[in-house]
Amino acid sequence: MTTMTFGAAINAGLRKSLENDPKVVLMGEDIGTLGGVFRITDGLQKDFGKHRVIDTPLAESGIMGTAVGLAYRGYRPVVEIQFDGFIYPAFDQIVCQVAKMHYRTRGAVTLPITIRVPFGGGIGSPEHHSESPEAYFTHTSGLRVVSVSNPQDAYTMVQQAISCNDPVLFFEPKRRYHDKGEVDLGIDPASAPDMGSAAVATPGTDVTLVTYGPLVKTARDAALAAADDGISIEVIDLRSLSPVDYSTVEASVRKTGRLVITHEAGQSGGVGAEVAASITERCFHYLESAPVRVTGFDIPYPYSKLEMHHLPDLDRILDGVDRALNRPNSLSGLEG
Amino acid sequence: MTTMTFGAAINAGLRKSLENDPKVVLMGEDIGTLGGVFRITDGLQKDFGKHRVIDTPLAESGIMGTAVGLAYRGYRPVVEIQFDGFIYPAFDQIVCQVAKMHYRTRGAVTLPITIRVPFGGGIGSPEHHSESPEAYFTHTSGLRVVSVSNPQDAYTMVQQAISCNDPVLFFEPKRRYHDKGEVDLGIDPASAPDMGSAAVATPGTDVTLVTYGPLVKTARDAALAAADDGISIEVIDLRSLSPVDYSTVEASVRKTGRLVITHEAGQSGGVGAEVAASITERCFHYLESAPVRVTGFDIPYPYSKLEMHHLPDLDRILDGVDRALNRPNSLSGLEG
Amino acid sequence: MITEHKGARHPGLVQLITPDGERVSHPEYDPWVQDVGDDQLVGLYTDMVIVRRIDTEATALQRQGELALWPPLLGQEAAQVGSARVVRTEDFIFSSYRENGVAWCRGVELPDIIRMWRGNAASGWDPYTVNMAAPQIIIGAQTLHATGYAMGIQFDGADTAAITYFGDGATSQGDVNEALVFAASFQVPVVFFCQNNHWAISEPVALQAHTRIADRAPGFGIPSMQVDGNDVLAVMAATRIAMDRARRGGGPTFIEAVTYRMGPHTTADDPTRYRDPNELEDWAAKDPLKRVKALLERKGLLTDQLLDEVEGKANDVARQLRKACVEMPDPAPSDVFRHVYSTPNTWLDRQEEHYSRYLASLGDPAAANQAEGATR
Amino acid sequence: MITEHKGARHPGLVQLITPDGERVSHPEYDPWVQDVGDDQLVGLYTDMVIVRRIDTEATALQRQGELALWPPLLGQEAAQVGSARVVRTEDFIFSSYRENGVAWCRGVELPDIIRMWRGNAASGWDPYTVNMAAPQIIIGAQTLHATGYAMGIQFDGADTAAITYFGDGATSQGDVNEALVFAASFQVPVVFFCQNNHWAISEPVALQAHTRIADRAPGFGIPSMQVDGNDVLAVMAATRIAMDRARRGGGPTFIEAVTYRMGPHTTADDPTRYRDPNELEDWAAKDPLKRVKALLERKGLLTDQLLDEVEGKANDVARQLRKACVEMPDPAPSDVFRHVYSTPNTWLDRQEEHYSRYLASLGDPAAANQAEGATR
Ligand SMILES: Cc1ncc(C[n+]2csc(CCOP(=O)(O)OP(=O)(O)O)c2C)c(N)n1
Ligand SMILES: Cc1ncc(C[n+]2csc(CCOP(=O)(O)OP(=O)(O)O)c2C)c(N)n1
Ligand SMILES: [Mg+2]
Ligand SMILES: [Mg+2]
């Protein structure tokens, strides 16, 4: 076990992938000499060369489209989107090409492309630097979508994503890049839990709290705090957002009968809507209260002086937990 | 009352808007001389000139971005996206500019842009011509999203959308363009039911069937068929997908206790997920069974020889209704 | 007066065969086609006749309800055959939807040419068996794929090249311009082959480009050529020059092949709504097939025997095409779930299971079997 | 040898003041600045000093935690002041995030210049009060807005123009190229002003453009100029030529102002990781401020009094800026819900109501009041 930051763990995972497979190439803006604006690719161009770690022109559709071409030729491109808000110029290439090529060609062409996206808020940035666009991609068939919440998963899952033959959106919670954790660098990604599986991050019995990415830490803190009040929260880290590992979530909800989902993205049509709808479908008779969503508001991501109001925090999550438990909460007395 | 096709009704609505407001301009590919590939803008360039009905270069981001500029200058652009699958190159301009400009400028700049999208399947077209991308936009704050299901609404709501100061995604069910209906051309859009409101398309008491756009007709047919079996379906035409008029849906579900949602888009993260989650939140204690979703599969839209398997039809909808009513259905005996 | 850089000088359209079939010499382009002897000329002619025959047959099949749609290439035979015939087997092609003539030259099987147009698949062939990607419907997207593929060629140190086909309308798309940026920056072996057929559905080329399309690329640092796209030899020469430069590490080249879409955009289109019939007449006089036929005639090669032979071949192909079309088996319902992912997917597996139960509940025996069997 | 169209000839960089401050004559550009007398020269110098002072102060404020971020324009003062000073009040500007010098010339209030960088708003000013759009962070997007706005000018028959600022990196984006297509096709009154400051964060301009950036536009049929962007007079002349052409119905023009980003990309950047210090030194010798100062000196205008006066003005501006910054009131929590829509929205109203109840439940009295009052 090595103690390392989240960012360093991804760097180590990328390095492993570059070492293990000569077909792995990294592409993106400023990822070479600079090592990326978050330094996630620090040192990799120096060690692997300009053909393995490619500084590209400033054009996201261009990056994604050439990644498709490279994959057509047998490469495994790992694309870095500099910030979440800059993925949209590449949306057409992702939705119409990356997601559909395998279906289009009846399996003849695989596009093992990994798209790394530093996402989410909490770092005091201006517009377009704090978005949570994951639901656009979970609604896009042909893509797999994962999000990591801790250094160990970051290290392991980035390697699993790169070796997956399907395209993977890999969402990295940028505000956790400096968080430290224990990482087993010797782990074999092939024998580690699959990136498609959810994990019980904190076991509990009274209420199921589902989340992913940056809020896993917040949710676990909430569980700790709730324990003081005698409430036992089971925190589930989804890890995979498409497909969601419903068997793990179902098992928990059948036990607790209560479900809270929290994410930074806006509520309408977010991942929480899908989880709430699917779990209601699958566990209707086990549910003792309506699934509760504690999410960002349905607003453009706000300027930084207001972001703490937008982002679910420990207190808002616990308020949602109270709602699920029919305990006094901020909406007590409101009908519906 | 005049009998006219769906397409002719939109044409008439556009004509009215062009007549009433000199700032209204239509933009798109092939909308001028040709009158659009669906002939929705037929004759308008001839009558209003090349500065009011603009054939643009073949570049969707360019169309959307210049529409933003025109709106900045006080115009009301009405953009035609030729087919649903071609909206993605404009996604960045829609999500980052059209949706956010009002928020960005604290209300100083309004962008009254209407984006017309012929959407959905059922016309035997090749790839990219039959998509249902509405959920991408209902998950995007700052946009309003509507979908029309009949010629009268098409005529009225297109005018309401154009006069709305917020940007509106206007989804037109292309496979219904040739359907005929009665249209009151003398109606004043300002006094007609607001495009934000849902409509009870068929009243009923046993189960609420929520849909929009192309499937409203199918849902109403299903209600007719179910009536023969003594089942009373209340069909709700959402009309507005963002925001959803939940008061109308809630009132119905409180009465019926059962909810089925149907749309062509894939299930995961579709509009149905949001409606199911929100109605469960608001009506948990009224629900006698889990909300049921009858939707397209989570696949790229299939080639035309298979599209009838992908698209919900009358029988699949009735099977879903049976599920909601706990009557024998295709999933009977399956747990969960 | 302010002297400014207002546009590029250009040597003008390259032509090696006049509309009347006269072989005109061009010192710079001639060497690239000097190996094209009588046999090859006859071969090109044969290809062009067959390609036009495929087009006619497919159009008829569409009219008869056997194809859902068809994008005719009438008028563009020289541009497609001339270029495709000099692309080597190891090179890779990224085309749009109209390059059925290219597909023919590439050796794509007849049923595969029409598979997607019948609605039986989203694309027709396995790209790796013919080194030609699945046709692209999103305008311009494939130019980036070709550029990325060429980056791969460069990394591999291979002496092959990629070539991408797109239309005049496509030049307005951001993707095409980004492809030029990437290709120029990385100096990769890719050839941009633009068929300027004067129309993007109903929009004339003047709406897309304020100057010659061939002028675009030099502004990105990419050399370009403008050739008569109805002249099969000029197209061959230009394509060879470009492919040769690419293979030798000389970087990208842009070719504008000036041609004309003599038919509708697709079988769903009605060009009488927007096109001056005189314009069509002018271009009919420059028909690429007529032209090579006239050349053969001047050379004394256009015997009755040849005409019969070629017609016979074309008719055979048409017959095979029709047969392949009407006999093509329908896909199975469960195909709707195939190939979305290459790895198992729990969401989709569940939907497939539910759907096969649903079909079974309708009393479909095939589906009933499926519902009981494995789901993948 | 094949004669091909390999790239455009160009007259080279336009310069009216040498790095040593010598005024060199240029028969074609001189007339456009012949009205610039001593007073105006002093005015330009003053603007440039102030703009640099704003930049320094804002950088300091960021270091002190008063601003979240700041994008320095150090080195680009001539490009920004020279161009902005000849844009008329009725013209409209669409810029990126680095044009704080342009904003200053436009009369944007000091607090409004820093509002968004402090995190107090998503943008600083009401675009219509200064005819300058909200700064654009999405690279290149604003070039299309300017083009669309110019379409509107054309429809209105007005004799004004739009101008858009963007960087060298931005030229790689599809949007910028599509803007060139639209501007050329419709021949609208828009000026593309590219500040080639040699860097896009850590990427040198050579990665974005294989040839001169000024060569790009002619390929789209748009005339272009390349000017020394550190020469305030050359920039003025070129911008006047372009704006004048636009206003007179002559269509779009592209200007490449060759300059250099002497600071980091933003205060969050560390250029020592990627930039050769010698390069910075070379450019320091061509500093735009030094240059105009040297010109003033040669003209005998650079008196101690002037220096004091200008320094005094700049210090005043800096003081005001600092005061405006530290005293800027924080937004109210409920502002998070404002201006998403201009019409009432049931979803959002509900979220606002719930959130104010939530805040009230935490015991926040302001919020409690709000929870009881109206929601909008
Ligand atoms: C992104 C996108 N937008 C719009 C369309 C609809 N469309 C299909 S073909 C076409 C015209 C293409 O013209 P051009 O590039 O000249 O090719 P041609 O059809 O002439 O071969 C258009 C607008 C599309 N397929 N993709
Ligand atoms: C679409 C998009 N992609 C990436 C970024 C991140 N980014 C911000 S500034 C910048 C470099 C811009 O370079 P240039 O256009 O030369 O302008 P400069 O910063 O030099 O003024 C990048 C990559 C962005 N803001 N928008
Ligand atoms: Mg064309
Ligand atoms: Mg720059």
pLDDT digits (tens, 9 = 90+) for A314-332: 999 999 999 999 999 999 9
Least confident of C4-8, C265-269, D258-262: C4-8
- Mean pLDDT over the full length of chain B: 97
Q: Are strands B168-173 and B144-147 parallel, antiparallel or unpaired?
A: parallel
Distance (Å) of CA C47 to CA C23, C164, D203: 20, 20, 48
Q: What is the mean pLDDT of residues D302-307?
A: 97
> Which residues of chain A have a CB within 8 Å of the CB of D354?
330-331, 334
Phi, psi of D353 (to 5 degrees): -60, -45
How high is the pLDDT of residue C8? 37
In whole angstroms, what is the distance from residue A10 CA to residue A17 CA? 11
Closest Cα of chain D to C371: distance in Å?
A: 42
Residues 13 through 52 of chain B touching chain A, CB cutoff 8 Å = none
pLDDT digits (tens, 9 = 90+) for B278-314: 999 999 999 999 999 999 999 999 999 999 999 999 9
pLDDT greater than 90 at residue B109: yes
In whole angstroms, what is the distance from residue D192 CA to residue B80 CA? 27
pLDDT greater than 80 at residue B21: yes
Structure tokens at D325: 């910054």
How high is the pLDDT of residue C363? 84
Please name the residue of chain D whose CA is at the shortest distance from the CA of residue B111. D342
Q: What is the mean pLDDT of residues D35-40?
A: 97
How high is the pLDDT of residue C12? 79
pLDDT greater than 80 at residue D162: yes
Least confident of B134-138, B154-158, C342-346: C342-346
Please name the residue of chain B whose CA is at the shortest distance from the CA of residue C134. B127
How high is the pLDDT of residue D27? 95
Confidence of residue A260 (pLDDT cuts 50, 70, 90): very high
> Does the beta carbon of A96 sit less than 6 angstroms from any atom of ligand 2?
no
Please name the residue of chain D whose CA is at the shortest distance from the CA of residue C181. D172
Q: What is the mean pLDDT of residues D218-223?
A: 98
How high is the pLDDT of residue B335? 65
Confidence of residue D375 (pLDDT cuts 50, 70, 90): very low
Structure tokens at D320: 């005001």
How high is the pLDDT of residue B334? 85
How are the residues of chain D apportioned to helix, strand and coil, as percentages rounded to the nearest 5?
A: 50, 10, 40
Q: Please tell me which chains touch B, using 3 or more CB pairs under 8 Å as the contact test.
A: A, C, D
How high is the pLDDT of residue D83? 98
What residues of C are annotated to the active site?
261, 265, 274
How high is the pLDDT of residue C11? 56
Residues 49 through 88 of chain A touching chain B, CB cutoff 8 Å = 61, 85, 88
Q: Is D145 a catalytic residue?
A: no
How high is the pLDDT of residue C53? 98
CB-based pocket (< 6 A), ligand 1: B 29, 58, 60, 82, 86, 89; C 98, 137-139, 167-170, 197, 199-201, 261, 265
Residue C151's closest CA among A19, A172, A71? A71
pLDDT digits (tens, 9 = 90+) for D60-98: 999 999 999 999 999 999 999 999 999 999 999 999 999
pLDDT digits (tens, 9 = 90+) for C42-83: 999 999 999 999 999 999 999 999 999 999 999 999 999 999
Residue with tokens 């085309």: C95
How high is the pLDDT of residue A335? 65
User: Could A273 and B273 be called an inter-chain contact, meaning their C-beta atoms sit closer than 8 Å?
Assistant: yes
Mutate to test the pocket of ligand 2, among D116, D136, D139 (most ligand atoms within 8 A of CB): D139
Residue C252's closest CA among C185, C334, C345, C351? C185
pLDDT digits (tens, 9 = 90+) for A161-220: 999 999 999 999 999 999 999 999 999 999 999 999 999 999 999 999 999 999 999 999
Q: What is the mean pLDDT of residues D276-294?
A: 96
How high is the pLDDT of residue C365? 55
In whole angstroms, what is the distance from residue A196 CA to residue A146 CA? 8
Give the burial class of C282: count Cβ atoms within 10 A of its Cβ; 0-12 exposed, 13-18 middle, 19 or more buried: exposed
> Does the beta carbon of A84 sit less than 6 angstroms from any atom of ligand 2?
no
Mutate to test the pocket of ligand 1, among C116, C139, C172 (most ligand atoms within 8 A of CB): C139
Which of C121, C149, C181 is the closest to A69 by Cβ?
A: C149
* Mutation target among B18, B27, B68, B98 for the D interface, most CBs of D within 10 A: B68
pLDDT greater than 60 at residue C5: no
Whose C-alpha lies nearest to ligand 1, atom 11? C200
How high is the pLDDT of residue D376? 31
User: Could B37 and C68 be called an inter-chain contact, meaning their C-beta atoms sit closer than 8 Å?
Assistant: no
Number of the ligand 1 atom closest to the C-alpha atom of C205: 16
**Ion ligand 4, residues whose Cβ is below 5 A away:** D 167-169, 197, 200
Closest Cα of chain D to C182: distance in Å?
A: 8
Number of the ligand 1 atom closest to the C-alpha atom of C71: 19
Cβ of residue D375 closer than 8 Å to a chain A Cβ: no
Please name the residue of chain A whose CA is at the shortest distance from the CA of residue B334. A282
Q: What is the mean pLDDT of residues C128-134?
A: 98
Q: What is the mean pLDDT of residues A239-266?
A: 98
What residues of A are annotated to the active site?
129
How high is the pLDDT of residue A334? 85
In whole angstroms, what is the distance from residue D293 CA to residue D283 CA? 16
pLDDT digits (tens, 9 = 90+) for C325-371: 999 999 999 999 999 999 999 999 999 999 999 999 998 655 544 44
Residue B55 Cα to ligand 1 midpoint, Å, equals: 14
Give the burial class of A118: count Cβ atoms within 10 A of its Cβ; 0-12 exposed, 13-18 middle, 19 or more buried: buried
In whole angstroms, what is the distance from residue C226 CA to residue C229 CA? 9
pLDDT digits (tens, 9 = 90+) for A40-89: 999 999 999 999 999 999 999 999 999 999 999 999 999 999 999 999 99
Q: What is the pTM of this model?
A: 0.97
- What domains sit in chain A, N to C, each tagged with a CATH number? 2-183 (3.40.50.970), 199-324 (3.40.50.920)
Q: What is the mean pLDDT of residues B214-233?
A: 98
Cβ of residue C150 closer than 8 Å to a chain A Cβ: yes
| Percentage of the residues of chain B whose pLDDT score is greater than 70 | 99
Phi, psi of B141 (to 5 degrees): -65, 145
> Does the beta carbon of A58 sit less than 6 angstroms from any atom of ligand 2?
yes
From its phi and psi, is residue A326 left (phi > 0), alpha (psi between -120 and 50) or beta?
Answer: left
User: Could B30 and C68 be called an inter-chain contact, meaning their C-beta atoms sit closer than 8 Å?
Assistant: no
Q: What is the mean pLDDT of residues D329-335?
A: 96
In whole angstroms, what is the distance from residue D39 CA to residue A197 CA? 72
In whole angstroms, what is the distance from residue D214 CA to residue D199 CA? 16
pLDDT greater than 90 at residue C2: no
pLDDT greater than 70 at residue C230: yes
* Mutation target among A18, A52, A104, A194 for the C interface, most CBs of C within 10 A: A104
Strand blocks (E) in A122-275:
144-147, 168-173, 180-183, 199-202, 207-211, 233-237, 240-242, 259-266
Q: What is the mean pLDDT of residues D138-157?
A: 98
Q: What is the mean pLDDT of residues C290-303?
A: 97
Cβ of residue C340 closer than 8 Å to a chain B Cβ: yes
- Mean pLDDT over the full length of chain D: 94
How are the residues of chain A apportioned to helix, strand and coil, as percentages rounded to the nearest 5?
A: 40, 20, 40
Q: What angle do CA A135, A138, A143 make, to 5 degrees?
A: 140
> Does the beta carbon of D261 sit less than 6 angstroms from any atom of ligand 2?
yes
Residues 175 through 234 of chain A touching chain B, CB cutoff 8 Å = none
User: Could B243 and D127 be called an inter-chain contact, meaning their C-beta atoms sit closer than 8 Å?
Assistant: no
Cβ of residue B270 closer than 8 Å to a chain A Cβ: yes
For the CA atoms of chain A, what is the radius of gyration?
20
Let me know: does A248 contact A289? Beta carbons within 8 Å.
no
Please name the residue of chain D whose CA is at the shortest distance from the CA of residue C174. D174
Closest Cα of chain A to C10: distance in Å?
A: 28
Q: Please tell me which chains touch A, using 3 or more CB pairs under 8 Å as the contact test.
A: B, C, D
Q: What is the mean pLDDT of residues B20-42?
A: 98
Residue D73 Cα to ligand 4 midpoint, Å, equals: 10
Confidence of residue D1 (pLDDT cuts 50, 70, 90): very low
DSSP class of residue B244 equals -
Cβ of residue D12 closer than 8 Å to a chain C Cβ: no
From its phi and psi, is residue B249 left (phi > 0), alpha (psi between -120 and 50) or beta?
Answer: alpha
> Which residues of chain A have a CB within 8 Å of the CB of D137?
85, 126-129
In whole angstroms, what is the distance from residue C346 CA to residue A292 CA? 25
Phi, psi of D311 (to 5 degrees): -65, -40
How high is the pLDDT of residue C166? 98
Cβ of residue C158 closer than 8 Å to a chain A Cβ: no
How high is the pLDDT of residue D12? 79
Residue C292's closest CA among C352, C226, C232? C232
How high is the pLDDT of residue D374? 36
Decide if domain D30-326 falls under CATH 3.30.470.20.
no
pLDDT digits (tens, 9 = 90+) for A122-135: 999 999 999 999 99
Give the burial class of D307: count Cβ atoms within 10 A of its Cβ; 0-12 exposed, 13-18 middle, 19 or more buried: middle
Q: Where are the domains of chain C?
A: 30-326, 333-375
In whole angstroms, what is the distance from residue C303 CA to residue B91 CA? 58
| Percentage of the residues of chain A whose pLDDT score is greater than 70 | 99
Let me know: does B187 contact B155? Beta carbons within 8 Å.
yes
How high is the pLDDT of residue A162? 98
User: Could B109 and D146 be called an inter-chain contact, meaning their C-beta atoms sit closer than 8 Å?
Assistant: no
